Amino acid sequence: MFAPAYFDANATTPLDARVLDAMLPYLGARFGNASSRHEYGRQARAAIDTARQQVAVAVGAHPTELVFTSGGSEANNLFIKGAAASRKPGVMAIGATEHPCVRLPALHVQQHGWRVVQLMPDADGQVNVDAAVALIVQDRPAVVSVMLANNETGAINDIAPIAAATRQAGGWFHTDAVQALGKMPVDFRGLGVHAMTLSSHKIYGPIGAGALVMDKRVDVPALIAGGGQERGLRAGTENLAAIVGFGVAAELAVAEMSERTARQRAARDVFENGLGAIGAQVFGAAADRLPNTSFFAFEHIDGETLVAKLDRAGFAVASGSACSSADAEPSRTLLAMGVEPGLARGAVRVSMPHDVELNDVDRLLRALKQTVDELKHLAAVAI
């Protein structure tokens, strides 16, 4: 069976064998509905309570502040749409480099009288803190959302002072921390945010589980109404096995973070040194970044073409956010950073898994050089 070397961990991660082992009983004999009053239901409820504790501890929150969802997209929608429904229409501020599952719900609430403004990044992809604070002081947005770490560039935003300014202005501050968990310390209380989004399948847990961590003083309506689960904020029988897996994955992500990130950072440094030698431009290279992420381009080389050729050569990489892969437009993140559209169309993302092998990095670099040389030759012949 053809098995390419995997360099797309920011899109999703493989399920950790230990996580799968923890999930298996809940895919078999322990199949109860956590809302049931009998022993099967009590077992399910206890398992969910344990997972809630595990995920909450991983981000320095209290278990009662955590609402399980189907993933990061639902959690972001729950907060953005819920906050807009709870508060008097006014200004909503979002980072210009947000994931579509923040940007699109924000655009949606404009239909209900909200004015959406963007907090712009600097040339390295980090939201400009001084400009963001100045806007918050002036416009006093009721809702602000800025991601903790960008899914494309890996740039880490300094959100604590922006969250503090938002609180002082009477607003609610939310951060999408989906990419951050497991790759850097994440402290819900220490960051001073009102709400935070997490996802299981980015930390070697199962697809189908996520969470919104939310200060209990923040009151939003349910996005999915019905059975009253998750404090009445997320109706529907819980995805028991996935939630159990999420809890174990979160616990492992924190316990093993130092070892994992050291390996990723070493591999990324080798990779980016090699990129420089073959003429690539790395976006956000001067920023504080996630240890596993490289977003780069070559002049006059189309990113989608490069991704496809690398796939055929046995390497799984991406041209940006997996959720935006059907969009042929240049990366919104890069355009917001001031990158020229032609170069932005050439962007390719490599995101290292935690068990990355340097041998695979070396092979990827050789394949990149060969492919780029071939594409440049074809372009020269065409001229």
Cα–Cα distance measured from residue 142 to residue 113, given in angstroms and rounded to the nearest whole number: 13
In angstroms, the CA 119 to CA 107 distance is: 14
Q: Which two tokens stand for residue 210?
A: 């996520």
Phi-psi region of 338 (alpha: psi -120 to 50; beta: other; left: phi over 0): left
Q: Measure the CA–CA gap between 372 and 375, rounded to whole angstroms.
A: 5
Q: Which is catalytic among the residues 184, 235, 323, 335?
A: 323
Q: Rg of the chain over CA atoms, in angstroms?
A: 21
The residue assigned the tokens 């604590």 is: 160
- Measured CA angle at 234 (ends 71, 199), to 5 deg: 15
Task: Give me 5's structure tokens.
Answer: 């070397």
Cα-based distances in Å from 134 to 161, 164, 168: 11, 12, 12
C-alpha to C-alpha distance for 98 and 83, rounded to whole angstroms: 17
Task: Please answer whether residues 34 and 240 qualify as being in contact, where contact means their C-beta atoms are separated by less than 8 angstroms.
Answer: yes
Which residue blocks in 109-222 are alpha helix, DSSP H? 129-139, 160-168, 188-191
Residue 333 and residue 125 in contact, taking contact as beta carbons nearer than 8 Å = yes
Block residue for tokens 């206890």: 46
C-alpha distances (whole Å) from 189 to each of 163, 220, 231, 234 are 11, 20, 21, 23
Look up 101 and say whether it is catalytic.
Answer: no
**Which region, left, alpha or beta, applies to residue 248 given φ > 0 means left and ψ of -120 to 50 means alpha?**
alpha
Nearest to 201 by CA among 179, 172, 186, 227: 179
> Which residues are part of the catalytic machinery?
323
